[in-house]
Structure 1
Amino acid sequence: MPASSVFAYALALAVGALLLWLLRRYLQERRYRRRPYVAPAHNNWAAAPPPQEAPLHRVALLGDPGAVATSGSDPVLNVLASWQAQTGPAGTIIILGDNIYPVGMPAPDHAKRPQAEARFDALLGALNQFQGQVVLLGGNHDWNKGRPDGWEYLQRQEAYVKQHLPTAHFLPVNGAPGPVTLQLAAGVLLVVINTQWWVQRGPKPVADAKEPFRQLRSILEANRHQRVLVAGHHPLYSNALHGGKFTAKQHVFPLTTVHKQAYVPLPLIGSLLPLYRKLVGAAEDMAHPRYRKMRRRLLRVLHDFPDVVYAAGHDHNLQYFQRHGGHYLVSGSGSKTAFVQKGGQASFVHEHTGFFSLDFYPHQTWLRTLEPGTETEVFHLRLYPRPAVEPAVVALPKRLEQFLGG
């Protein structure tokens, strides 16, 4: 058989195998997409409800709300309003970045400034009704999607918050890397770190890239007696786009990762984009060298402090991971949703709008999901104290059991 025929035959087999794999993936995804996934270890979550009394403090973790409806009828903001009414002053709302889509707060004469103000005003208007504390973080979109002039965009947004919601905390101040702390309640400490600082191009506040992690370690060491929540924009674990997870459709129509309606079929070639973002990564992906270095340094610290909760946005879904004794949240579906893969290391994932809430009781911490359009809660879990692990029961041989008096 000529070499050209052998090559053509091998290519045809490879193409056929890829198409079969994509078809299988597509059928699997259709079965579980937009349905909550709970890992087998937590299948009995509904049998253990949270305490009935009011918590000591509650924290709403709302990520990526930058595309909320400006009509006053946004579903997520309506859920947030209900949460505010139930919580009262004993609570904190943390906006986890990407507060204004698509590029943050442009200059006053920019064509996109009116749209940016309208969206941000809708969010700030909802937050202005809250009696508790409000904390806002900057995300990559708030820094003009990481472009070299992003610091200017971030500073304009921070100034806008000071003018229209002066009681809110925009942290860290002026785009610094942090960490900064805020005491939320007795025994409950918030630590904010500006993860965008490490992946941002162009001008930004001058700082030693390693010093914030040394400071974070010192803060966590000095506060072992408290329950600590660390907040940043970028997730440290993710089963979604920025963690290198793609749908079968995105392999065939890769441009839909940029625009949902860009259905330009590019089979085979289209698989190169997911492969690139999984192995090399765009600047906002975990695989990118700057993100990867920041993530590695941050995890090196957090893994030494069990029971710390790390909350992020960035990926447009809800995800919860238990890793090395710590708790890692992705609460980035404040105004958009995107594919999230079930299983893997995740304890819970859901492709749905909404946000996580942390309820701090005197001796317990509970994680809850709040989603518009769902009649019942799709997941909750006690994070602290961690449930005791039942000792494994080992069956003894019958003769040995009789000898031991069993």
Structure 2
Amino acid sequence: MSFTKKISILILFAFLINACASYKLQYLDVEVQENIFPDKEVDKVFYLVGDAGLSPMHGMSQGLTAFRDYISDKNTEGDYTLFLGDNIYPAGLPEPNHRYRTAAENMLNPQVKAVADFKGRSIFIPGNHEWYVGGGVTGVRREEQYIKKALDENSFFPEDGCPLKTIDVSETIHRIIIDTRWHLENWDHHPTINENCVIKTRERLMWELENEIKNAQGKTIVFTMHHPMCTNANHGGQFALEKHLFPIQKKIPMPGLASLAVQIRAQGRVSIQDRYNELYNDLMNRLEKLVTENGDIVFVSSHEHNCNTLTTVISNRLFLEQDQKPLLSI
């Protein structure tokens, strides 16, 4: 068999075994295929905004505009808005004199404006794009200071480029915020990454998380982090048919090679941003072990340019009923 035929068969095989993404909603339980609003007290409302760091110059993206308009007539006192990372595209917040500084600020400002009249608390967390700017963790700290100046001192967590922040939201809700990129990052490239942090190792982070979960027994724990534990989209190895033709954003058709690239990426061999990359997979497996036997836990994430809420259902708005406890609205 000729070399060309072997390559052709390999490409065809990769195309056939690689599943395409489904645009239908995915449900574990068919009984939760629609939102049900019980006649019960709502303890807290969380608005989730993910990957919102791309707006036109001097304008506001359609998503942020829709969010701002939606909350405009709501009583938001005591509520939370969570910006789930990737708050600036393409590469975080550079230094003040950098030529892309104005463009980067333009990506942040519409998010700040969207919550200008919000009566509750607005909190930003870092994603992976915050780390792309020169300096890595320095860029994360730079964005933190910008957001705090625009809003308030409690608007960006975790602080100082550290990995963890916990907040007692109410008597029934405890929130754990993790900078998942901190765990995935190659620390050799960032020698000052942990200089201001109590937690200086990945093992210490897991120990702290275990203690936080135990101390919050009886409460609903909301894990807030950029990278999702589960995903049925590109970072989870599920790709639309067009990715088998256009592997890069420039839309240059590469049939065959595109399918091979998709198959390699689906195995997590290309980027730490993909769910089955070794580092990413290790982090999520360890988190899963920590939470498996510990009460009511919700994960909220973005990363896939959507908002990911994980209990037994994935949706953008979720009500959780827990025996006689008040409801948590997300």
Question: How does the TM-score come out when normalised to structure 2?
Answer: 0.84
The Cα of 1:157 is off from its aligned counterpart by 0.5
Q: Deviations over 1:260-314 (max 9, x none)?
A: xx22222222223222222223121122232222222222212222420111111
Give the one of 38, 48, 51 matched to 1:64.
51
* Amino acid aligned to 2:238: K
Match of residue 142 from structure 2: 156
Q: Distance in 2 between matches of 1:40 and 1:142?
A: 33
Quick one: structure 1 residues 38 and 282, their matched pair in 2 at CA, closer, same or farther if it must change by over 3 Å?
A: closer
2:90 matched to which residue of 1?
A: 102
Does structure 1 retain, via aligned residues, the 8 Å contact 2:11–2:257? Answer: no
Check conservation: 1:70, 1:122, Cα contact below 8 A.
no
Residue matched to 1:337: none
More strand per residue: 1
Give the equivalent residue in structure 1 for 2:122. Answer: 134
Structure 1 counterpart of 2:223, from 222, 230, 242: 230
Q: Which residue of 1 aligns with 2:254?
A: 266
Could you tell me which of 152, 172, 178 is aligned with 1:193?
Answer: 178
1:174 to 2:165 alignment: no
Aligned-pair distance for 1:185?
A: 2.2
Worse overlay, 97-106 or 245-254: 245-254
Contact 1:72 1:122 in 2 (8 A): yes
- The structure-2 alpha-carbon separation of the partners of 1:181 and 1:273, relative to structure 1 and needing over 3 Å to count, comes to same
Mapped to 2, the partners of 1:8 and 1:144 lie a distance apart of 39
* Aligned ranges 1:4-403 → 2 under 5 Å: 4=2, 21=16, 33=23, 36-39=24-27, 41-43=29-31, 45-46=33-34, 49-52=36-39, 55-69=42-56, 74-81=61-68, 82-83=70-71, 85-144=73-132, 149-178=135-164, 180-201=165-186, 202-203=189-190, 204-206=193-195, 207-255=200-248, 259=249, 262-279=250-267, 280-321=269-310, 327=311, 347-348=313-314, 355-356=316-317, 363-365=325-327
In structure 2, the CA distance between the partners of 1:284 and 1:16, relative to structure 1 (3 Å rule), is closer
- How big is the shift at 1:133? 1.2
Q: Distance in 2 between matches of 1:18 and 1:208?
A: 39
Aligned-partner Cα distance in 1 for 2:76–2:25? 31
The question of whether the paired residues in 2 share the 8 Å contact of 1:142 and 1:154 is answered with yes
Amino acid at match of 1:137: I
Question: Per the alignment, in what secondary structure is the counterpart of residue 130 of structure 2?
Answer: coil
Structure 2 CA distance, aligned partners of 1:44 and 1:199?
34
Q: Distance in 2 between matches of 1:72 and 1:360?
A: 39
Q: 1:223 to 1:78 in 2, by over 3 A?
A: same
State the aligned residue count: 319
CA deviation profile, 1:98-120 (whole Å, cap 9, x unmatched): 11111111111222111111121
Contact map agreement 2:137 2:161 (CA 8 A) in 1: yes
Over the matched positions of the two proteins, sequence identity in percent amounts to 22
Judge conservation of contact 1:62–1:356 (CA < 8 Å) in 2. no
Q: Which has the larger radius of gyration?
A: 1
Report deviation, 1:154.
0.8
**2-side partners of 1:276 and 1:10: how far apart?**
18
- CA deviation after TM superposition for structure 1 residue 10, in Å: 6.5
Contact preservation (8 Å) 2:179, 2:225 = yes
Q: Is the 8 A contact 2:77 2:119 kept in 1?
A: yes
Gaps (5+ residues) in structure 2? none
